[in-house]
Amino acid sequence: MLKFPYCNVTDLNQALAQCRFVGLLGPLASRRRSPRAVVSCSPSSSEFSLTPVQAVMSCQQQVGSSLVNRLRLGGLTEDGFSYKEKFIIRGFEVGINKIATIETIANLLQEVGSNHAQSVGFSTDGFGTSPTMRKLHLIWVTARMHIEVYKYPAWRDVIEIETWCQNEGRIGTRRDWILNDVTTGEVIGRATSKWVMMNQDTRRMQKVSDDVKEEYLVFCPREPRLAFSEKNNKSLKRIAKLEDPVRYSKLGLKPRRADLDMNQHVNNVTYIGWVLESIPKEIIDTHELQAITLDYRRECQQYNVVDSLTGLELTEGSKMVSVGTNGSATATATTREDDHDCHRFLHLLRLSSDGREINRGRTEWRKKPTR
């Protein structure tokens, strides 16, 4: 879901209709032909030679007086290759400790991505699809999401989120985010995701064609830019499948109607909530989530019933102790000698009916800070 909002997209589309673009949506095509787009923003104005990004930003300025644009604290960056937006953390977005929840963070990431897509003239229906994708009934679906939060914002804090996207292999695209505390300028979180293309009718994955790439790569950074640039960073770590028997579980979870997104399947953020349902209470009470990785394997529909399974992840240096009435050896902690306040878990979401895997995940928890 390439999601991009600086202007009211209805107004933007009207402005685009009044403008004359040559090769606006041709990132690769513009490189093969001409890197410039000829734009005339009114029938009586003279024509200016602009890049596609400059053309979009120019038309945004023409419709920038709309009510949505005046109220929205976001827009394309100066070079047009990323998007930033500010948010105030509201009361219904925090938990009992007045700190934003991980679901709030994930929802804001989706919102910024969607606004980014719309700000460059992509679809206004929330799918973030390009003209070619809509013509062929193609949509973006999440394949992998990784979020790290270094410091959770509190109620009434103001944060700024920057996002950008780029090509990711032959079958996908990548979107990254950086989260900043506006007051201190501190980086409080980072995230990255991989999206693949699906045929909306057949629900089958499809290779990203050159035609589609030509429509969105023009709005991507010219050089690779990664939120996680460190070698062997956690976002790259493979998630092992969790096998039964597991120590913690929450069975019989059912999607609510409100959990469905505009693609008519369960929203990505709902999976995060389901994963957390089977986290042991003693961890929830004393620790906070510092990193989560989810691999999306299968769509979940409204009438599916889901089981959430959680098990401790064994890492090098983990201890094994005997617990339980049967005295079986079970890992009670995944901590190393020098990391006793951190706990790591593996997760599995599966269909209750037949055990088919929906999602596998990994979470990492740190001791709650004293506030």
Query: Annotated catalytic sites, by residue?
Result: 263, 265, 300
Cα separation of 179 and 150, whole Å? 10
Q: Are 19 and 45 in contact (CB under 8 A)?
A: no
Q: Which of 300, 297, 339, 293 is nearest to 318 (CA)?
A: 339
Cα separation of 103 and 26, whole Å? 35
Residue 86 phi/psi, 5-degree rounding, is: -100, 145
Cα separation of 139 and 141, whole Å? 7
Residues 6+ apart with CB under 8 A from 238: none
Strand ranges inside the chain, DSSP E = 37-39, 48-50, 74-76, 83-88, 138-149, 158-168, 172-181, 187-199, 205-206, 248-253, 287-296, 306-312, 319-322, 329-333, 343-351, 357-367
At 312 the three-state DSSP class reads strand
Q: Which of 179, 171, 159, 221 is nearest to 196 (CA)?
A: 171
Instruction: Report CA 363 to chain centroid distance, whole Å.
Output: 16
Angle between helices 102-119 and 9-18 (to 10 degrees): 20
At 76 the three-state DSSP class reads strand
Q: How far apart are the first and last CA of the chain?
A: 37
* Helix locations, 2-95, DSSP H: 9-18, 27-32, 52-62, 67-71
Check whether the bond before 52 is cis (ω within 30° of 0). Answer: no
Residues 6+ apart with CB under 8 A from 336: 315, 316, 317, 318
